[in-house]
A and B are shown apart, each in its own frame.
Chain A
Amino acid sequence: MSDVERTDLNRLRDIIRGAQQQGDQYPVDPKARITVGSEGEIFTGVVPAGRPLSKVQHGTFAARVRGREVEDLRWAAKHMPRNTQFIDHRDARGWCYSFLSQLGRPYTMFAYFDGSSYQVKLVEPRLEGQVGAHAGHLYANGRLCLSQAGGSGQPTLEEAYSKSVLWATGMDVVLAGYPFPFSTNNEFEYGL
């Protein structure tokens, strides 16, 4: 972490909202880009070399179906937290992983493919039905809203994982009593 700038929340928010306003899903300029590490770290700017990173889709929490990664398992082993477990059950098949958010709160999540996109459910903390309805981008059944259109999912496991990390930090902010910071859809709540 010493050679990497670990970002503050305002900077994250500015980058995301800037990208959303530009309509730039994957900014080229490193300064305008957010990346997620394999243990739930969030990086901005120049990323550390030689480490597995996941790019964050910077657009509004909106789906862009890009097709399914066939190498999900291999990818997950390299890019998702070391504690990630693949749960292989008839009624729940997917990746269960835990990480610490930017504010140090532990989150456990479950990412799964729903047939057309990747969804993530919040396992811990148990917030479903607790967090103010529109503010949290969290459905009553525990599913994260990672996008605005087409059923709330992301097209790849990479995007679902990285966006879930960003979401967790957004939820930290919500739990601290403020509006969700990473979506222009919540802009009206700031009174901007």
Chain B
Amino acid sequence: MLTPVRVADFVLDAIAARVGAVEPEQGGALLGLPGSDYVTEFIHDADAATTGTRYQNTDWLIAAIGAREAATAARFKGIVHSHPRGMPVPSSQDQAEYAESLRLNPLLARYLAPIVTHDVDTPLAGHEIRLGPARISFYGAERAADGFVLAPVRPVVVPVARMLRRAGIRPEGDPAAIDVEGATLLATQAQLPGFGAVTLLLGADFPATAPIVLPEHGDGPLALGWDLGVPAVERLARAVRTLRRGRARDREERDASHRDGAGADEAGTEEQGAVAAARRDPVRLLFARTEGILSPTLADRSVLIAGAGSVGSYMAEVLARSGVGAFTIVDPDEVEAVNVGRSAYRVADVGLGKAFAAAEIVLAINPSARVGVHAARHEDVDLAALVAEADVVVVATDDPQAQARVGHFAYWAGRPAVFPGLYQGAQGGEVIITAEGSACFACATGGVRADLEETGSNEVAARTDYGTGRLIAEPGLLTDVHHVAAIAAKAALGLLHSPDDDVTAARFAHGILKAGTTYAVFGHEPDYWIFAELMRAAPAQYAYQSLWLTVAGRSDCPVCGEPAGRTDPSAYKEPDVDFIRTLRDGE
């Protein structure tokens, strides 16, 4: 039985960055809430005297601990330090120091002494967790009749930073311990989208209980619904979503009562009314500028976006602004700083799941949109169900196998799909459109890409990273990425209409299907090789250029061939190579 200690995830992140990312030895102090085994702070002792096997804390660290204890409610809990590979236990020198610390700190019931090592290959025991490139092994020293006993301690990670990120809350710093009327809480200032600056107070029993959220401008805490049935890491995100919906509804009711005459005697009514109307129903107002091009029925349409990178995030934004009412967004990744230069995301989104961040963009444009979020890979979601719910599928992933697989599901379910893609650092690109009767993605790419590759001397498809199975990201200009994505978005908007809808977008997209020209290639550079090759003598050419090619599916294609010969993608699963070995060895 290992006595547990609770550790906030941001403390572990800090230890990983300062101690775990460098070779031994490094160390620092752990602080936490008084009177409980809860670690909420790490102070790195950057200038400690270290040898290859020994860490000796500095006087600076002792002073820093004293200063923190004076300034906040946090109390000293112990020392974390690193050891060379293969030594994940405290040394006898360490143990002598624990005994001395316990003697000097009579208020300390248990001295926490985690050891960080860079051994990540051996299995983890109950008192250990992975820390990126390292592992951390928790120990605690307690007084005993004859000195002290050292025992492994089971760490329980409190996902504070992860829950805030998932909920779209951006704290100004790591939460710090403060004293509020005798209770110790973790507090931080934060930005809560839609509510502005707030103070966030987290109790020692968070996430079992809800945090207190105090808006800077407002009267008292926001009432958060707190559903213990929801997994801890999703709980805050769920509560914030519900809160935001509730507020949108309140505003709607208030605006409705204004319309009913109550607001008639207020000053500036007309202008206020327009603002209120825009907030209430952005989609309806939108059609003042797109009448005859798009139909208001888009509000009832649903799009599945697989992949929320530079192309997917842009498409989510454009489709939301164009009035599409429902979205399902699937992407396993988090926004990274390098994504900001080429996607719809901002620096504040770094660290958020891309699917969540894209959902935020959609909801910021249209708070009444219905958005489903799956921070997961294509293998880990029920694609058959997601495709069935969608009217159009946008395949914007950088994983060629995912493209083929999602495309297969879409074709099987009879849903039109749009596949935007970029070539060679976005110097060129393509948009492939599939729908019942057209060539499927595999037929289109198998034929056209090979032909293009053979007529020109250049590669069309981007190179694949055989480690991740994904396309290797190349530098490319945002406007070039958007050029392809914008055409894909226009096609998707058209396909969200029925073929006989009397609007321009429908005629555009369904015209492509009717003509069979479902494979478009684009050039973003003057004399881009496809065009230089195919339209050599034509005068006055310059970027941007496009060609809409006719592609044919094969009658024996298992995706788009004769209906009787088609295969159900749900019936196939990629076998695991270790499993194949087991089967073979069992023979």
Given contacts A63-B442, A116-B559, contact A91 B408 (CB under 8 A): no
Given contacts A68-B556, A116-B558, contact A149 B445 (CB under 8 A): yes
Report A-chain residues with C-beta under 8 Å of the C-beta of B446.
62-65, 149-150, 155
CB distance from B13 to the nearest CB of A (A): 26
Is the beta-carbon distance between B442 and A150 smaller than 8 angstroms?
yes
Cβ < 8 Å to A, chain B residues 359-414: 400-401, 403-405, 408
Given contacts A91-B579, A152-B400, contact A115 B569 (CB under 8 A): yes
CB distance from A104 to the nearest CB of B (A): 22
Kindly state whether residue B253 has any CB partner on chain A within 8 Å.
Answer: no
Is the beta-carbon distance between A115 and B567 smaller than 8 angstroms?
yes
Is the beta-carbon distance between B450 and A67 smaller than 8 angstroms?
no
Cβ < 8 Å to B, chain A residues 136-161: 136-143, 145, 148-152, 155
Report B-chain residues with C-beta under 8 Å of the C-beta of A110.
575, 577, 580
Report A-chain residues with C-beta under 8 Å of the C-beta of B554.
65-67
User: A1-9, A47-55, A120-128: which lies at the B interface?
Assistant: A120-128
Report B-chain residues with C-beta under 8 Å of the C-beta of A94.
575
Is the beta-carbon distance between B466 and A91 smaller than 8 angstroms?
no
CB distance from B473 to the nearest CB of A (A): 14
Report A-chain residues with C-beta under 8 Å of the C-beta of B469.
139-141
Q: Whole-angstrom distance between the alpha carbons of A150 and B561 in the complex?
A: 16
Is the beta-carbon distance between B405 and A121 smaller than 8 angstroms?
no
Report B-chain residues with C-beta under 8 Å of the C-beta of A143.
574, 577
CB distance from A113 to the nearest CB of B (A): 7
Q: Whole-angstrom distance between the alpha carbons of A137 and B465 in the complex?
A: 9
Instruction: Kindly name the residue among B449, B450, B555, B569 whose own CB sees the greatest number of chain A CB atoms within 10 A.
Output: B450
Is the beta-carbon distance between A63 and B580 smaller than 8 angstroms?
no
Cβ < 8 Å to B, chain A residues 1-35: 22-23, 25
Given contacts A59-B450, A64-B446, A65-B557, contact A122 B577 (CB under 8 A): yes
Closest residue on chain B to residue A69 by CB atoms: B556
B408-439, CB under 8 A of A: which get 1 and which 0? 10000000000000000000000000000000
Query: In the complex, which of the residues B405, B454, B573 contacts A151, with contact meaning CB atoms closer than 8 Å?
Result: B405
Query: In the complex, which of the residues B450, B467, B565, B584 contacts A60, with contact meaning CB atoms closer than 8 Å?
Result: B450
Q: Whole-angstrom distance between the alpha carbons of A81 and B557 in the complex?
A: 27
CB distance from A163 to the nearest CB of B (A): 14
Is the beta-carbon distance between B574 and A60 smaller than 8 angstroms?
no
Is the beta-carbon distance between B445 and A92 smaller than 8 angstroms?
no
CB distance from A81 to the nearest CB of B (A): 14
CB distance from B582 to the nearest CB of A (A): 9
Chain A's interface size range is 35 or more
Is the beta-carbon distance between A121 and B572 smaller than 8 angstroms?
no
Given contacts A85-B587, A108-B584, A151-B403, contact A116 B567 (CB under 8 A): yes
Number of interface residues, chain B, beta carbon within 8 A: 52
SS class of chain A's interface: helix, strand, loop or mixed? loop
Kindly state whether residue A96 has any CB partner on chain B within 8 Å.
Answer: yes
Kindly state whether residue A134 has any CB partner on chain B within 8 Å.
Answer: yes
Kindly state whether residue B583 has any CB partner on chain A within 8 Å.
Answer: yes
Cβ < 8 Å to A, chain B residues 438-480: 440-443, 445-447, 449-451, 453-455, 459, 461, 463-469
Kindly state whether residue B571 has any CB partner on chain A within 8 Å.
Answer: yes
Report A-chain residues with C-beta under 8 Å of the C-beta of B463.
134, 185
Closest residue on chain B to residue A147 by CB atoms: B446
CB distance from A155 to the nearest CB of B (A): 7
Q: Whole-angstrom distance between the alpha carbons of A67 and B557 in the complex?
A: 4
Kindly state whether residue A167 has any CB partner on chain B within 8 Å.
Answer: no
Query: In the complex, which of the residues A25, A92, A136 contacts B575, with contact meaning CB atoms closer than 8 Å?
Result: A92
Is the beta-carbon distance between A65 and B583 smaller than 8 angstroms?
no
Closest residue on chain B to residue A132 by CB atoms: B466
Closest residue on chain B to residue A64 by CB atoms: B446
Closest residue on chain A to residue B399 by CB atoms: A151
CB distance from A33 to the nearest CB of B (A): 17
Is the beta-carbon distance between B445 and A150 smaller than 8 angstroms?
yes
Report B-chain residues with C-beta under 8 Å of the C-beta of A164.
none
Kindly state whether residue A112 has any CB partner on chain B within 8 Å.
Answer: yes
Kindly state whether residue B576 has any CB partner on chain A within 8 Å.
Answer: yes
Q: Whole-angstrom distance between the alpha carbons of A20 and B568 in the complex?
A: 33
Kindly state whether residue B289 has any CB partner on chain A within 8 Å.
Answer: no
Instruction: Kindly name the residue among B461, B569, B574 whose own CB sees the greatest number of chain A CB atoms within 10 A.
Output: B574
Closest residue on chain B to residue A129 by CB atoms: B467
CB distance from A124 to the nearest CB of B (A): 8
Report B-chain residues with C-beta under 8 Å of the C-beta of A65.
440, 442-443, 446, 554, 557, 559
Kindly state whether residue B581 has any CB partner on chain A within 8 Å.
Answer: yes
Is the beta-carbon distance between B408 and A116 smaller than 8 angstroms?
yes
Q: Whole-angstrom distance between the alpha carbons of A89 and B581 in the complex?
A: 13
CB distance from A18 to the nearest CB of B (A): 13
Is the beta-carbon distance between A62 and B449 smaller than 8 angstroms?
yes
Question: Would you give 16 A-B contacts (Cβ < 8 Å), ordered by A?
Answer: A22-B454, A62-B449, A65-B446, A68-B556, A87-B580, A94-B575, A96-B583, A114-B572, A115-B408, A115-B568, A117-B558, A119-B574, A123-B584, A143-B577, A151-B404, A152-B401
User: Which A residues are within 8 Å of any B CB, using their own CB?
Assistant: 22-23, 25, 59-60, 62-68, 85, 87, 89, 91-94, 96, 108, 110, 112-117, 119, 121-124, 128-129, 133-134, 136-143, 145, 148-152, 155, 185
